[in-house]
Amino acid sequence: MKFCLFPVILLFAACSPSAASTPDGQTPGPGPGPVAGGQEQVAHRLVTVVDDLSNPWAVAWLPSGDMLVTERQGRLRIVRDGTLLRDPVDGVPDVRARGQGGLLDVAPHPDFESNRLLYLSYAAQHDDGGASTVVARGRFQNDALTGVEEIWVAQSRGRDHFGSRLAFDADNYLYITAGDRQVSPRGGLAELSAHPAQDLSTHHGVVVRLHDDGRIPADNPFVGQEGVLQDIYSYGHRNAQGMAFHPETGDLWLNEHGPQGGDEVNLILPGRNYGWPVVGYGVNYGSGSRIHVGSHRDGMEPPAHYWVPSIATSGLLIYTGDRFPAWRGSMFVGGLAGQQLARLTLDGHTVTGEETLVRRQGRIRDVRQGPDGLIYLVFDRPGMVARLEPGS
């Protein structure tokens, strides 16, 4: 199916709940939580672009106008002139499609038109029985990938939480998120501080920065430090599944899953510690018992925004198009469990408002701005790509 009106076509603002205190009873620290409205409502409708997809995870566009969509089971699909091609792309690496793992993000090289390089992140099985996040690249020609090579393999093992978002900056450095691999946080300050996400000798819960061929940049923040993985750019993350550079300021933003509550939006700075699991705003699943020693601590970066309860954040876009002028400069965050699209208004690095635009239409896995200036949403379930268009 292509370009069909979705059943619910007009959805307007709703403010998020307030959070006067953290789960452990403390007054929230420097990181602001949910904030209330005041935003102008903009008429929009949700239109299906393509459906019949199986657990799609990410979308990207080529200079030709073709849309690429990853399916978690291991298929890379092409949407050409609004139609989903029947055959998946040949040459995609084998993936471990189990649990949260599989084929995940896709990103064309910024110079794709000249070098035809396409990057994929995915979960891969290793000979020792473990699985980790891997990034590979190959040349995309004649609707197939050739010369595929792994350029980065995470030094981490675990069950799920693969992270896997990819983003290039203006200088063609590649940034990768890797999750904490679902290592359980337990104990007091000493035990939480020993969690792998606080250990710079592993890739649990990190953002990595590389040259486009996988080499480590000489100006990475931990280069030259003994016992530290020198591709790490920031650490102390849980499971970041949304990451984007602000197209105008160059700021790097990401969102990451909290446990039960405590999803975060973070401004990423080199070498900084973002606190998981020592500090945060969530609690343990089911029991609601305490995880963190508090919501803030010296030497750990507070979030720019957080959600209690969690919306299960995935996908992140900073909008610069002209189809929704009132939304220029806004940040858009998808929600999986929350089945919603959150629009955050920014004043510099401060989140000043939140609006919910899409409700209960499915699990939103990715959010992107298309070359047409419209906002595209990848729905994990139901398996489809849809877009927001102006109108009522």
- Bridge partners of residue 175, in order along the sequence: 167, 209
Q: Are 131 and 121 in contact (CB under 8 A)?
A: no
Q: Are 234 and 163 in contact (CB under 8 A)?
A: no
Rounded-to-10 torsion of CA 12, 16, 17, 19: -160
Q: Is 237 a catalytic residue?
A: no
How many Cα atoms are found within 13 Å in the side-chain-facing hemisphere of 285?
Answer: 6
| Edge-to-edge strands, sheet with 117-125 | 103-108, 117-125, 131-141, 144-153
How many Cα atoms are found within 13 Å in the side-chain-facing hemisphere of 250?
Answer: 6
Structure tokens at 246: 């602000």
The catalytically annotated residue of 44, 161, 257, 305 is: 161
Burial code of 225-240, b = ≥16 C-beta within 10 A, e = fewer?
eeebbbbbbbbbbbbb
Distance, C-alpha 102 to centroid of its chain? 15
Which burial class, exposed, middle or buried, applies to 123 when counting CB atoms under 10 A from its CB (0-12, 13-18, 19+)?
Answer: buried
Which positions are annotated as active-site residues? Answer: 161
